[in-house]
Amino acid sequence: MAKTPRFLTLHFLLLVSVVILQLSALTSAFGINYGTLGNLPPPTQVVDFIKKNTIFDSVKIFDANPHILRALAGTGINVTIMVPNGNIPAIVNVENARQWVAANFLPFHQQTKIKYVCVGNEILAGKDENLISNLVPAMQSLNEALKTSGLKDMKVTTPHAFTIIDYNQNAPSHSIFNNDHKDFFTKILEFHRQAMSPFMINAYTYFMVDPNNVNYAMFGPSNGIQDTNTQHTYNNMFDAVMDATYSAMNALGYGDVDIVVGETGWPSACDAAWCTPQNAANYNLNIIKRENVIGTPLMPNRHIDIHIFALFNEDGKPGLTSERNWGLFKPDFSPVYDVGVLKGEYRGGDGGNPPSNGGKWCVAKQEATTTQLQANIDWVCSQGIDCKSISPGGICFDNNNIKTRSSFVMNAYYQSKGYTNTACDFRGSGMVTTRNPSTSTCVVPNVVGSENGGGKWCVAKEEATTTQLQANIDWVCSHGIDCKPISPGGICFDNNEMWTRSTYVMNAYYQSKGKSDNACDFHGSGIVITTNPSTRTCNVPDGRGGRSSNNMESSSGDHAHSR
């Protein structure tokens, strides 16, 4: 038999890799965990609410509830279902697995988009050796049963508590799986690779919080950490947890396996001072931003499916106060706090622009050489463009990613020239895109119109007093608006210019409320203008398109939930 030439094989593999990456980016999901332990509305009402009133395109449930699956039929919502822990030993037998599929999949799969099937939930955390020893065989049998039934697109996985990882907080890249389960994770990751299914992690920074790292854990203002191994800077614990998970997988040789976040969130009430509606809103608002942000420092080009915990406060859950207060909504569908998930609301904070707002960016072409990228940086920075953000210590500085740095300043120049195509040529190394090139640590501003093309800003009046300005700052920052850019170290912090700081947050609130005039009143101290109030170091977002944003800053125990 003739052999395929080696260079053709390599070329084919490269093409396949590109296609897989593109498909991954296109199918990235943003979901919500739908628990049912409480006096909650019926599934038909809940699903109708999710479909019509929220931005969620995925729902994760904790069983295979036929009433919920039937309600989800025809909605187009991706669904994650779960095999209860107690069923794991039985479905090791392939025939039993086929019967489970026949009972829980076949009646629904033609109309309900079941994407992931979880075999159990946080099995290692329960320390039941019978369940642990049977977990991988059960996943293999269920996967075989799905294939036999022709359901090849449904991916088998299992959620893990983050406690499975020996987390190195000073060097996330040195994190590894707990030594006593190293062989177990080699087997489970090999299953994922063969089945082309994702590794699922429940990534709660809340369970690692202490009085010294509260802000870091919940996306608040903090000094962050610099990985002593990679020199990457982490401004929030969530990204560090993601990279620690990747590093543990990569240490076993499985860095290519996709990662899905099965659960993450922050309770609005608990027995500690850091559980407040405001803190929960801040955490989840920043998680929501990742819907339109690509990657982490160690995974710069990956989209990660994320499922927030949870849809409702569940008053039927036992345990600590926090267990009953993870929800974004109360059982009557009223928000526990405003986090922008309702349709028509601001969706992604400073950098998360919905695709419908006409955003445009100038970025470096994929094939641009390092020499071209550095030349672009040098030239733009000599043309009066502020390059502080890509300098050492800046939010977009990354020694290992010159393309991100170059794209940031190329885009800044493109904006300054009224977003004309010629301003993005850069001798053939630049291109205009409508796909957000931001990363989790560097949000690249978008453009939806020129400075003279109808932009609107809410600013503080010149005659506003210092007391009024400070009151505006305090009030806005208590209503779910990200105030990190005006905090010490932020790009809009200036001890000598309170007017700029107040204007920045007043305008952010004004945008979040659909730029209505009432949202810029601030007891008579605010005014809507059409002249850009940005300074050289503080870019104040405009209001074009309703919710566009040009901000350069990224805001960036009882763990086993009872079911």
Name the most confidently modeled range: 171-185, 381-395, 462-476.
Answer: 171-185
What are the pLDDT digits (tens) for 478-517? 887 888 778 776 677 655 577 888 888 888 888 888 788 8
Please name which of 406, 300, 307, 333 lies closest in space to residue 59, comparing C-alpha atoms. Answer: 307
pLDDT for residue 34 is more than 70:
yes
Entry field: residues in the chain = 563
Question: Rounded CA gap, 162 and 124, in Å?
Answer: 10
Q: Assign residue 22 a region: left if phi > 0, alpha if psi is -120 to 50, beta otherwise?
A: alpha
What pLDDT is attached to residue 434? 67
Mean pLDDT of the chain: 82
3-state helix, strand, coil in the chain (%, to 5): 40, 15, 50
What pLDDT is attached to residue 22? 37
Average of pLDDT values for 115-134? 96
Average of pLDDT values for 206-228? 91
Element (H, E) at 92: none
Higher-confidence position of 418 and 240: 240
What pLDDT is attached to residue 541? 63
pLDDT for residue 83 is more than 90:
yes
Average of pLDDT values for 68-74? 95
Residue 188: Cβ-neighbour burial (10 angstroms; 0-12, 13-18, 19+)? buried
What pLDDT is attached to residue 265? 97
What pLDDT is attached to residue 439? 59
pLDDT for residue 315 is more than 80:
yes
Higher-confidence position of 434 and 12: 434
What pLDDT is attached to residue 384? 80
Name the pLDDT band for 12 (thresholds 50, 70, 90): very low
Determine what percent of the chain is predicted with pLDDT higher than 90. Answer: 49
Q: Which residue blocks in 449-489 are alpha helix, DSSP H? A: 466-477
Q: Which residues are catalytic?
A: 122, 263
pLDDT for residue 394 is more than 60:
yes
What are the pLDDT digits (tens) for 258-275? 999 999 999 999 999 899
Q: Which CATH architecture has domain 27-347?
A: Alpha-Beta Barrel (3.20)
What pLDDT is attached to residue 18? 36
Tell me the one-letter amino acid at 174.
Answer: H
What pLDDT is attached to residue 540? 66
Q: How would you classify the pairing of strands 225-226 and 457-460? A: unpaired
Q: φ and ψ at 262, to 5 degrees? A: -75, -35
Average of pLDDT values for 363-384? 89
Map out the domains of the chain as residue ranges: 27-347, 361-433, 457-529
Q: φ and ψ at 97, to 5 degrees? A: -65, -40
Question: Rounded CA gap, 215 and 222, in Å?
Answer: 6
Average of pLDDT values for 341-353? 47
Structure tokens at 353: 């622009």
Higher-confidence position of 12 and 138: 138
What pLDDT is attached to residue 414? 85
CA angle (74 as vertex; 70, 78 as ends), nearest 5? 85
Average of pLDDT values for 232-258? 96
Please name which of 64, 99, 67 lies closest in space to residue 79, comparing C-alpha atoms. Answer: 64
